[in-house]
Amino acid sequence: MEEDKIKLPWRRLDNTANIFPVIANENMSQVFRISVTLKEPVQPEFLQQALEDILPHIQNFRVKLRRGLFWYYLEENTKIPQIQHENTYPCKYIDPHANRKFLFRVTYYERRINLEVFHALTDGLGAVNFLRSLTEQYLHLSKGKTQPWEPEDEKPSVQQFSVEDSYLKNYREMHHRSYSSNPAYRLYGDYLPLGSGQVLHGYVRVSELKPICHKKDVSITKYLVTALIWSIWQEYLEGKSCGRAVVLNLPINLRAFFGSETMSNFFAVTMIGYLFHDPKMDFDTLLRKVSRQMDRKIDKDRLEENISYNVSNEKKWYLRIIPLVIKRIGLGLVFRLKDRAYTMTLSNIGPIKMEPEYADDIERFHLMIGVSRRQPMKCAVCAYGDEMVITFTSVFADSRLQKRFFRKLKEDGVSVRLEGNELCAARKRDMYPRVRKILILRKGGEAKARRVVKQVGNTSGQAARGVVDCLAGRRSWKEELNRRFHV
């Protein structure tokens, strides 16, 4: 048995993935979700069988995380993952020692299938390919088709499930720029209890958004980036000048630039932002400035510099021989410096396509990214057919930035429909399971979120007074834990 364990295949984490096991924990999950909503309720037995059918063919997901002397690495996982009924908030931490040691989880709720992935495993496009394959096989089984699933069939949509490290493959030794660590403007607000989070989806029509972007001579992504920067400036800074720039962290898919089909991570991040000085600046002026900035930064040569910078650090021999326990400290400090350089993240993975034969069975896709108190709000965008879904995840009790953003879209002539979980500002809030039912109010979602904040307490001063009361015997530890964490 021991010899079999030693012989199991292993491989290194890709260049970007090295940071995620170091910084991930219960409070910063580094998990994202891609989900598909069907037109019929999910049948769990077929979903479980579909997962078991496709997993042997997708090497990148059939792994567990191991800790080495110098780096984390991936080793083959021969266990069978189990699907789960969704019963908590999205994008929760995936403990590498639980969940049968898989770095992903598949859950379902009513008509929706969710794939949640630890970012060390893959990025958004890799997860989309996995979910597409899972959905195809599930639909086959639910319709009584029992043919084996093979990735090498003749369908043009099927990707080769490569696990190459495309960062190393496309590395060129060259002069490179380092990342900026200048502090950016940070969002603030009342925090929800640890472990909870607000989810708000905005549904817009691509056919309505495209003409507006065409009229302004920009892409949809440029328009959305500018609208979000504009909304932060208007809502948080009240349209006034500020000493720190509003900066968005924008992940860029590198596969299209370098011809890769890897299922491992292969993306770069670029910082797009603006330092506001003129209170009279209008939206169109900001749009032109952001558009030029994106044209300059999202360029193959600049992206190669990005790859060069990241991989060159990994190749330095004196860094490679440092034990992992020390690397964890250093990488944690580097992450904190980079983390303060942007205000929030916006990720647009673009349109998701399925074969025409599945069009009558699929309603839409959603993408969302996990948040934490260090990264309190993120925005994710995807599209299916003519519908685009813009999803905000947040640990704040209020929804003022989200409402300001969607109000900007409405002002420009784009109709928006809102939907989310019980903590959000939308009227429709039944698409997710309700968590901690004892706290549910018959009021708006935002009112409930604010009530939860008041019950929990959110300042360090309140927490300190609670500890002093416990030590002095004026309050029991059980009461304090129940008040703050609902345990």
Assess if residue 367 is contained within a domain: no
Q: How many other C-beta atoms lie within 10 A of the C-beta of residue 222?
A: 22
Assess if residue 98 is contained within a domain: no
Contact 404, 235 (CB under 8 A): yes
Assess if residue 463 is contained within a domain: yes
Assess if residue 466 is contained within a domain: yes
Output the pLDDT for position 486.
Answer: 39
Question: Rounded to two decimals, what is the model's pTM?
Answer: 0.86
**Closest of 67, 54, 235 to residue 159, by C-alpha:** 54
- Sheet with 84-85, strands from edge to edge, namely 84-85, 104-109, 112-118, 31-38, 362-369
According to DSSP, residue 179 is labeled P
Burial class (CB in 10 A: 0-12, 13-18, 19+), 409: buried
Portion of the chain with pLDDT greater than 70, in percent: 83
In the chain, the number of structural domains is: 1
Assess if residue 55 is contained within a domain: no
Assess if residue 471 is contained within a domain: yes
Range of the domain at 479: 457-485
Is the pLDDT assigned to residue 436 strictly greater than 70?
Answer: no
Helix (H, G, I), strand (E, B) or coil at 310: helix
pLDDT confidence bin for 313, thresholds 50/70/90: confident
pLDDT confidence bin for 336, thresholds 50/70/90: confident
Phi, psi of 368 (to 5 degrees): -145, 155
Assess if residue 461 is contained within a domain: yes
Output the pLDDT for position 154.
Answer: 41
Is the pLDDT assigned to residue 71 strictly greater than 90?
Answer: no
Q: How many other C-beta atoms lie within 10 A of the C-beta of residue 482?
A: 11
Task: Annotate 130-146 with b (16+ C-beta within 10 A) or e (fewer).
Answer: bbbbbbbbbbbbbeeee
Output the pLDDT for position 178.
Answer: 61
Task: For residues 335 and 22, give the distance between their C-alpha atoms in angstroms, rounded to a whole number.
Answer: 9
Contact 387, 203 (CB under 8 A): yes
| CA dihedral (412, 417, 418, 420) positive or negative | negative
Contact 381, 391 (CB under 8 A): yes
Assess if residue 472 is contained within a domain: yes
